[in-house]
Amino acid sequence: MLELAQNLILNEDALNSLPEKKRPIFIYEWLCFLNKVLIATPKVNKNSIFISNIIFLRMIFENINHRLSNN
């Protein structure tokens, strides 16, 4: 599952193919990978990475909440 999560763009096909209980783990692994890549990227302001991560995590959280409330 980790190898499918190692992409800069969320692999929604792989995510949708997983059982519901494993989807949060997949998203977490993808976010961890993305965080490592962003930190290792040269010439990037770390404050902008932090703010982007917060905004992105909020979007993910809202998306997961929306999906859970619709089930």
Within 10 A of 64 (CB to CB), how many other CB atoms are there?
Answer: 13
pTM check: above 0.75: no
Supply the DSSP string of the chain, one letter for each residue. Answer: -HHHH-SSS--HHHHHHS-GGGHHHHHHHHHHHHHHHHHHSTT--HHHHHHHHHHHHHHHHHHHHHHHHT-
12-71 tens-digit pLDDT: 888 889 998 888 888 888 888 888 887 776 665 666 777 777 888 888 888 887 877 776
Domain ranges of the chain: 2-69
In this prediction, residue 5 carries a pLDDT of 52
